[in-house]
A and B are shown apart, each in its own frame.
Chain A
Amino acid sequence: MVGDDNMEKVLIIRYGEISLKGLNRPYFENTLLKHIRKAVKEIGKIRVYKAHGRIYMDLEDYDEEEAIKAVTNVFGVVSVSVAYVFEANMDSIYEVALEHIQQCIEQDGIESFKVESKRADKKFPVKSPEISRLVGGYILKNVEELRVDVHNPDGIIHVEVRDKAYVYSRKIPGFGGMPYGTSGKAMLLLSGGIDSPVAGWLVAKRGVEIEAIHYHSYPFTSDRAKEKVIELARILSRYCGRIRLHCINLLNIQKAINENCPPEEMTILSRRFMMDIAERVANDRKCKALVTGESIGQVASQTLESINVTNSKVNMPIFRPLIAMDKMDIVTISNKIDTYETSILPFEDCCTVFLPDRPVTKPRLEKILESEKLLNVKELINQAIDDMEVIIVKADE
């Protein structure tokens, strides 16, 4: 029965929060639609359209697995289901529901189920509760080992009667969030580590467009370290489209600090320079916030004292989505979004070259400001920004 000529397969794409967006709703929906279309462009000329307060995709003969993977990677998608669509009549509904339940047993090993029905087409002669009861009965009659559980079922068969009948079961979760680019733009401080790509991804998931800034100390760090960061940006761009990556050489600044300031302040002073430069570039690029991968207490520059000292350098809000997360949880996301394997490649990042033996962990702002006075901050920053290199990173290049 399933796969018959008069049977169509569609992907039902659900989005959550957008539906709360009031007057802006069409804007959010259309942006989401645009991103989904872009995500499946490579697979084929798939029809994607809005209807009944959700988005549908005609699967036709396209690769279902790949389409699902592409769609669930789009920010704003809460979940998807593969549904069979056919002329509504009870006999067909029985057959398709039975096929679905057999799939659920095979793939998820379900032992209990229930049927949920919705009748939007009031001309259809059977009412919703009645559909559920009849379909449930049919399944029970045909599959012996299964039982009905209306409160806590292992699987749910959904039957919707609209212009046609839609029958589906499994819900495959997406990342949720908001459509990319619907919440303004921010500048991500992207190092080669595990944390910053995760921070960028989390903020991007809330619909914020991401640009990135990276600091290196070439020739004290290798070109391979930069390649690694480009690779990380490339992985992020699978979710974000292309990413503009700004590369800043921090070596002259580090040399100046090294020559003029107490060695234990190297890291904290460098970080203030990074923040300062990031804010300037962010302002130029019309970004409204900075994003960092900081997490409380992870390293010396991430104590509350240190965060105060670096924070005071900028006026822009700094988003730190990982601030209260444990490393393990960050690694879990890093694995999920596929940046982990690249992040752990052993190339030196610029923070470690001049790493002092005992960095200051509780810096006092007054003292740091005194040290900064020993440097020609303005000139050092202008020089670094003048020498900035900009790379546009796109997925799959």
Chain B
Amino acid sequence: MEVYLDNAATTKPYEKVIDIMVKSMREYYANPSSLHRKGVEIEKLVKKARKQVAKALEVSEGEVYFTSGGTESNNLGVLGALEGNRRKGKHIITTKTEHPSVLNVFNELKEKGYDVTYLNVDKSGLINIDELSNILRDDTVLISIMYVNNEVGIVQPVSQIANMIKSRKSRPLLHVDAIQAFGKIRLNMKKSNIDLMSISGHKICGPKGIGALYVKKGTKLRSIVFGGSQEFGLRAGTENVPGILGLGVASELVKKELEVNTKKMRQLKIRLLEGIKDNLQGIKVNSIIGDASAPHILNLSFKGIRGEVLLHSLEQEHIYVSTGSACSSRKKSYSHVLKEMGLTQDEMEGAIRFSFSPDNTEEDIDYTIEKLKNLVKELRKVIGRG
């Protein structure tokens, strides 16, 4: 039995995604920019995929730009928006618990002279909206915030932020990293005032190497890679047609199955947590269980255990998870997210992230609980001494 519980790292693609990608490589190989009939045919397919993504995000077709993935979407969203709005100000805001593809962009911008504020989070990983409100300035040009945190699953109050900045005279742009949110929670794009939003293919059972950036109509954005005029001049480079078609199909499917999937994943999350709590002592729960957190991520600390050792022990039982830290006794590197949430060193070392997909079953969870029960006890026996 193989149990894959690392779906926040990447997901297994849908069969339909694989099918269209294979077909795309075999048959739809022409360049969509070519003038001949074959090119036009592919251009149509790309347009259809764009429509599928737009529909899944509840936005319009012209607001979706394909990129090479989540990292590029985040880079383009932040850097492109700042380039397009240079004169508006030098103050930018993000959180301390962003994914590196946002955090490192901000660090770079700080080096280049931007005035950067990093928002704190509380022990559940949530930002304080009052803190944000207090630091907003007239020259605040951009706020970038992740919808769902990739390590613990906390959902940030994106709609609240959007509403709060709506009424301001000099309204900053709002970029949202929705890479872990798309297909996991309801995004409510129709009502929201989000200007820019990043998504990624491989987190929604689509392909790797493809993502998209939603850019609200009228938002000024400048390209950060230079070349041809693909993607309406915003993102040069011949289109990754198999990726785009795969992303289109995956987007349609996750949107269609959203209600069913989220309900199922949340049940699995609760089942796993209950099962672990019933069988083991010394567990710290780093994820919220209810709606304030995404349904697919459960982060737990097993006290007295090194996460990586537990990870490899689980891998021997064909159970695949992730840790909060890479452990090496020479050089410790802990998760910046867990650190900001105030976990102790012991809790960070023992942190494991379980992340679910709709493909997981109750059987998977029960098998995992059973194995965990024995492994954790055994490991504690070995390490507990001395």
Contacts of A255 in B (CB 8 A): 382
Q: Tell whether B37 is near chain A: CB-to-CB under 8 Å.
A: no
Q: A330-359: which have CB < 8 Å to B?
A: 346-348, 352-353, 355-356
Contacts of A222 in B (CB 8 A): 308, 312
Contact between B330 and A219, CB atoms less than 8 A apart: no
What is the CB-to-nearest-CB distance from A385 to chain B, in angstroms, rounded to a whole number? 21
Contact between A219 and B313, CB atoms less than 8 A apart: yes
Q: Tell whether A183 is near chain B: CB-to-CB under 8 Å.
A: no
Q: Tell whether B309 is near chain A: CB-to-CB under 8 Å.
A: yes
Contacts of A220 in B (CB 8 A): 309, 312
What is the CB-to-nearest-CB distance from A343 to chain B, in angstroms, rounded to a whole number? 12
What is the CB-to-nearest-CB distance from A8 to chain B, in angstroms, rounded to a whole number? 49
Contacts of A346 in B (CB 8 A): 326, 328, 330-331
Contacts of B312 in A (CB 8 A): 218-223
Grouping DSSP codes into helix (H, G, I), strand (E, B) and loop, the A interface class, with mixed when no group exceeds half, is loop
What is the CB-to-nearest-CB distance from B317 to chain A, in angstroms, rounded to a whole number? 10
Q: How far is the CA of A218 from the CA of B312 in the complex (A)?
A: 7
Q: Tell whether B36 is near chain A: CB-to-CB under 8 Å.
A: no
What is the CB-to-nearest-CB distance from A252 to chain B, in angstroms, rounded to a whole number? 11
Q: Tell whether A258 is near chain B: CB-to-CB under 8 Å.
A: yes
CB-CB under 8 A for A356 and B386, given A219-B316, A348-B328: yes
Give the interface size class of chain A.
Answer: 10 to 19
Q: Tell whether A263 is near chain B: CB-to-CB under 8 Å.
A: yes
Contacts of B309 in A (CB 8 A): 219-220, 353
Q: Tell whether A259 is near chain B: CB-to-CB under 8 Å.
A: yes
Q: Tell whether B112 is near chain A: CB-to-CB under 8 Å.
A: no
Q: Which of A218, A219, A263, A352 contacts B386 (CB 8 A)?
A: A263
* Residue ID in chain A nearest B331 by CB atoms: A346
* Residue ID in chain A nearest B316 by CB atoms: A219
| Residue from B312, B316, B329 whose CB has the most chain A CB atoms within 10 Å | B312
* Residue ID in chain B nearest A355 by CB atoms: B329
Contacts of A223 in B (CB 8 A): 312
Contacts of A348 in B (CB 8 A): 308, 327-330
Q: Tell whether B315 is near chain A: CB-to-CB under 8 Å.
A: yes
Q: How far is the CA of A353 from the CA of B312 in the complex (A)?
A: 13
Using a CB–CB distance below 8 Å, which chain B residues touch chain A?
308-309, 312-313, 315-316, 326-331, 382, 385-386
Q: Knowing that A220-B309, A348-B330 are A-B contacts, what are 8 other residue pairs whose CB atoms are under 8 Å apart, sorted by A's residue number?
A: A219-B313, A219-B315, A219-B316, A222-B308, A222-B312, A346-B331, A355-B329, A356-B386
3 closest residue pairs by CB, A with B: A219-B312, A263-B386, A352-B329
